[in-house]
Amino acid sequence: MNETVKRIISGILIAIIYGTFFQIELWNFLPLYLFICAVTIIVLSEFYSMFLDEKLDVYNKTIGIIFALFFITINYLQSLKNYRLHHDLGSSRLNEFLDFIPESSISIYATFILMFITLGIYNILTSRLKAGIYTIGIVFFGVIYIPLTISFILLLRGQPNGVFYIWLVSFITVMTDTCGYFFGKNFGRHKLPLPVSPNKTWEGYCGAFIMQLLLTIGFNEAVKNIFEIPGFDLTQITLISILIYLTSVFGDLFESLVKRNANAKDSGNFLPGHGGLLDRVDSIMFSLPVFYFYILIVG
């Protein structure tokens, strides 16, 4: 089985699993929360494995993963607070519990401070000296880079029409990546001056932008007409398409920068034909928060 076939099969399986989990509303989309936790553990482990020692830094990595799950839980609870504004959670106890949950910003600040103290105490006691500061920096960066961005899918899910929003941002991100790959491979002639990713071409990026914009407009219209969901007008969907295109490209290039610094070709080998799971979610990681804030601002 060649790499292209593996890439297609893996991509289809990812889409089916991913789509299934964020469609489910069972138990206030708890399955989506658990799915995001599992994805985060895998992706963060891949990231740490590129920079940290498998044996010496096992406790630092464990601390990072534990606090990453804290951040995801914070955003999950915040999403439920938003979700209950237009849906019945079906549990008075859950509603009472959510009333005691502070705003996510306060919880995030508190968790960051606690993580800093925990990492500091552990590395002081183990006397890692300069290596300890490097390790703390990597652990902190990994938690900011991965769970804080991925968990925005939960905040989007808690919005009215949250399922449509996730489908939209996912569609644009996938089309950007797929069209970029197609146009770059078949028509790419002029390389971009990007040392971090020297094989990228103007034809790939331009072709991806035009094609994904046309496909996104069609997707938006199809959803509005078929499912009778209030989508976006032409101006809004064009702006959204541009925003997500730019953040998708940035996410892909940023992960290339990460791998260059780690002297790694792929983040791992979790997915046949695709490399690591981080290699697959890198583009959408920044698109999710940007789109979420767009929804909050524009409404």
Listed by start position, the domains of the chain span 1-158, 161-299
The residues near 255 (Cβ < 8 Å, ≥ 6 apart) are 267, 278, 279, 282
For the ranges 42-56, 118-132, 183-197, 245-259, which has the lowest average pLDDT? 118-132
Q: What percent of the chain has pLDDT over 90?
A: 43
Average pLDDT taken over every residue of the chain? 86
pLDDT band at 199 (very low <50, low <70, confident <90, very high): confident
Residue 76 has pLDDT above 90, yes or no: yes
Q: Are 212 and 176 in contact (CB under 8 A)?
A: yes
Q: Are 106 and 143 in contact (CB under 8 A)?
A: no
Residue 245, SS3 per DSSP: helix
Residue 152, SS3 per DSSP: helix
> What pLDDT, on the 0 to 100 scale, is given for residue 7?
56
**Nearest partner of 178 among 242, 248, 125, 129, judged by Cα:** 248
The two three-digit tokens of residue 98, written as one number: 């959510």
**Nearest partner of 216 among 198, 239, 191, 195, judged by Cα:** 239
The two three-digit tokens of residue 238, written as one number: 């064009």
Q: Are 166 and 22 in contact (CB under 8 A)?
A: yes
The two three-digit tokens of residue 167, written as one number: 């489908």
pLDDT band at 273 (very low <50, low <70, confident <90, very high): low
Over residues 4-24, the pLDDT tens digits come to: 555 556 556 666 777 777 677
